[in-house]
């Protein structure tokens, strides 16, 4: 059993897509081990995305993830959860995302791409602990 971290981003929350996205997550066999709605501060978004701080899109991304509206933070559990959640999300750019993926169906563009997922076990551990304490995660 592996854990990964997911965010339902402001563009999806704003369009009332929380239920549709959670339905896809659960129907693929993930357990939702932790979940909360939050409005990120700019500082929280900058810390969360610190690996991208030299990228040209960093300022727009962190502004969008904070001022853009509330998000839903999730810890997902399943065998091979990290890879499985990345497959279910689809490619970062919805133009490249495969049919049947969340980003293909719901994303607006490469920034407002509806969902986030950890890309490695190390990042999953960092991202989960960034937003959740151990006592908030129930297997
Ligand atoms: P996410 O998986 O959350 O990781 C970094 C985010 O930066 C990405 O999804 C997009 O929302 C955003 N982003 C904006 N522009 C780009 C880009 N050119 N390449 C990668 N990510 C981008």
Which listed residue (97, 116, 117, 118) is catalytic? 116
Domain count for the chain, please give it.
1
* Ligand 1 mean position, distance from CA 65 (Å): 11
Is 20 among the domain residues? yes
ipTM: 0.95
Per-residue pLDDT tens digits for 25-82: 999 999 999 999 999 999 999 999 999 999 999 999 999 999 999 999 999 999 999 9
User: Measured between alpha carbons, how far is 93 from 113 in angstroms, rounded to an integer?
Assistant: 7
| Residue 139, in any domain of the structure | no
Q: Would you place residue 102 in the very low, low, confident or very high pLDDT band (cuts 50, 70, 90)?
A: very high
Residue 92 assigned to a binding site: yes
Helix (H, G, I), strand (E, B) or coil at 52: helix
Residue among 65, 41, 68, 39 at smallest CA distance from 52: 65
| Residue showing tokens 């133009």 | 95
- 103 pLDDT band (50/70/90 cuts)? very high
Domain interval for residue 88: 2-134
| 57 is annotated as contributing to ligand binding | yes
- The CATH number linked to 52 is 3.30.70.141
Tokens encoding 114: 């509806």
Tell me how far the alpha carbon of residue 48 lies from the centroid of ligand 1, in angstroms: 13
Q: What is the mean pLDDT of the chain?
A: 98
- C-alpha distances in angstroms, 66 versus 47, 60, 104? 12, 10, 23
């Amino acid at each position: 059993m592996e854990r990964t971290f997911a965010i339902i981003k402001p563009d999806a929350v704003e369009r009332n897509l929380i239920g549709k996205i959670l339905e896809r997550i659960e129907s693929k066999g993930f357990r939702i081990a932790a979940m909360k709605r939050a409005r990120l501060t700019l500082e929280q978004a900058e810390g969360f995305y610190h690996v991208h701080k030299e990228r040209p899109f960093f300022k727009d991304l962190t502004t969008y993830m904070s001022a853009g509206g509330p998000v839903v933070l999730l810890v997902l559990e399943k065998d091979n959860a990290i890879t499985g959640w990345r497959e279910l999300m689809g490619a970062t750019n919805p133009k490249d995302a495969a049919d049947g993926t969340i980003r293909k169906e719901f994303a607006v563009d490469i920034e407002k791409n509806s969902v986030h997922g950890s890309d490695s076990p190390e990042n999953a551990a960092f991202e989960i602990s960034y937003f959740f304490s151990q006592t908030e995660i129930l297997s």
